[in-house]
C-alpha cells in the first residue's frame, strides 16, 4: 500500500516533532559523547581537535577506535584506513536510503549523508516505513542528533579533569559495549554469524601474535570473505 503523502508541517511543529523523536537518540549520544570527550582528552588530543572530530567525523564507534589508536601512537594512514573499515557499513545504509529520498535536491542529499549514523538510519527507516516522510522533520532530527553528540563531547572535554581516568565510571566499557550492541543487530543470517566468529577469532589471533594497527582491519575483511563463502556454500546445498 502506498502511504498517502502528508502536507508539510509548519516549521515550529516540525521542530517539536523532531525533538520528541530524537530524544531517545540524544539520551544515548550525550553519555557516550561524554565518554569520547574524556578519553580523547586523555589520549593527548587538543580540546579543539576533540570537538572538531565530533563535528566533522560524527561517528561514535569510529571516534572511540581512533582515540585508542591516537593514544597508541598509530600513523595517520592507519587511523584513516581503520575509520574507513569501521564505517564501511554506512554504504549499506546510504544505499538503503537512496530510493526513499527521491525528489530531494543534491545538496539536501549531501547534507543528509553527512549526518547518516546507525541510529539516525534506524529511526528514519522506521519513520519512512510508516509513511512519515516529512523533509523538515527529517532534517531537524539529523541536526538535533548531531547537536546532542557534539554537546556530550563538550561536556566530556569540560569534565575530563574531574572524572580522572574514568575507570570508576566504566568509561572504558563504552567502546566494547557499542561494538557488541551494533554487532547484535548484524547477526541476521548464519553466514553473518560465521563472518563475526571468523573476524573475531582472526583478530584475537593477530593480537596474540603481536600484529597491531591493521590486524583487526585485515581480520574483519577476511572474516567478511569467510561469511560470503559460507553464504555461497549454503545456497549451493540442495534443500
Residues 98-127 that bind another protein (CB under 8 A): 98, 101, 106, 109-110, 112-114, 116, 118-119, 122
Q: What is the 3-state secondary structure (H, E, C) of the chain?
A: CCCCCCCCCCHHHHHHHHHHHHHHHHHHHHHHHHHHHHHHHHCCCCHHHHHHHHHHCCCHHHHHHHHHHHHCCCCHHHHHHHHHHHHCCHHHHHHHHHHHHCCCCHHHHHHHHHCCCHHHHHHHHHHHHCCCCCHHHHHHHHHHHHHHHHHHHHHHHHHCCCCCCCHHHCHHHHHHHHHHHHHHCCCCCHHHHHHHHHHHHHHHHHHHCCCCCCHHHHHHHHHHHHHHHHHHHHHHCCC
Q: Which of 19, 128, 200, 213 binds another protein (CB under 8 A)?
A: 200
Query: Which grid cell sits at 172?
Result: 572504558
Q: Which of residues 166-195 bind another protein (CB under 8 A)?
A: 167-187, 191-193, 195
Rule CB under 8 A: say whether 223 interacts with another protein: yes
- Smallest gap from residue 7 Cβ to another protein (A): 25
Residues 33-92 that bind another protein (CB under 8 A): 44-46, 48-49, 52-53, 56-59, 61-62, 65-66, 70, 73, 76, 79-80, 83-92
Q: What part of residues 11-30 is at the interface with another protein (CB under 8 A)?
A: 24, 27-28
User: Of 6 and 212, which has the nearer Cβ to another protein?
Assistant: 212
Asked whether position 153 contacts another protein by CB under 8 A, the answer is no
Size of the site for another protein (CB under 8 A): 100
Binding of another protein by 145 (CB under 8 A): no
Read off the C-alpha cell for 125. 527507516
Q: Which of residues 32, 34, 38, 67 is near another protein by CB under 8 A? A: 32
What minimum distance in Å lies between the beta carbon of 237 and another protein? 17
Residue closer to another protein by CB (options 19, 182) is 182
Among 94, 133, 136, 155, binds another protein (CB under 8 A): 94
Tell me whether residue 4 is exposed, middle or buried, using C-beta atoms within 10 angstroms of its C-beta: 0 to 12, 13 to 18, 19 or more: exposed
Smaller CB separation from another protein, 11 or 183: 183
Amino acid at each position: 500500500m502506498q502511504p498517502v503523502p502528508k502536507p508539510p508541517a509548519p516549521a515550529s511543529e516540525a521542530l517539536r516533532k523532531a525533538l520528541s523523536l530524537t530524544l531517545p537518540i540524544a539520551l544515548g549520544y550525550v553519555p557516550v559523547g561524554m565518554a569520547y570527550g574524556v578519553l580523547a582528552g586523555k589520549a593527548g588530543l587538543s580540546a579543539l581537535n576533540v570537538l572538531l572530530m565530533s563535528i566533522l567525523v560524527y561517528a561514535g564507534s569510529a571516534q572511540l577506535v581512533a582515540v585508542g589508536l591516537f593514544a597508541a601512537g598509530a600513523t595517520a594512514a592507519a587511523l584513516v584506513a581503520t575509520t574507513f573499515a569501521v564505517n564501511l557499513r554506512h554504504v549499506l545504509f546510504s544505499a538503503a536510503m537512496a530510493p526513499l529520498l527521491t525528489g530531494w535536491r543534491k545538496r539536501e542529499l549531501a547534507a543528509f549523508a553527512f549526518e547518516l549514523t546507525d541510529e539516525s538510519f534506524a529511526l528514519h527507516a522506521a519513520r519512512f516505513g510508516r509513511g512519515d516522510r516529512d523533509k523538515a522533520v527529517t532534517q531537524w532530527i539529523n541536526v538535533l542528533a548531531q547537536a546532542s553528540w557534539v554537546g556530550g563531547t563538550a561536556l566530556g572535554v569540560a569534565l575530563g579533569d574531574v572524572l580522572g581516568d574514568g575507570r570508576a565510571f566504566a568509561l572504558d566499557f563504552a567502546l566494547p559495549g557499542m561494538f557488541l550492541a551494533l554487532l547484535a543487530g548484524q547477526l541476521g543470517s548464519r553466514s553473518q554469524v560465521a563472518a563475526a566468529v571468523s573476524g573475531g577469532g582472526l583478530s584475537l589471533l593477530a593480537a596474540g601474535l603481536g600484529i597491531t594497527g591493521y590486524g583487526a582491519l585485515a581480520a574483519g575483511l577476511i572474516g567478511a570473505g569467510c561469511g560470503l563463502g559460507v553464504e555461497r556454500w549454503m545456497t549451493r546445498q540442495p534443500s
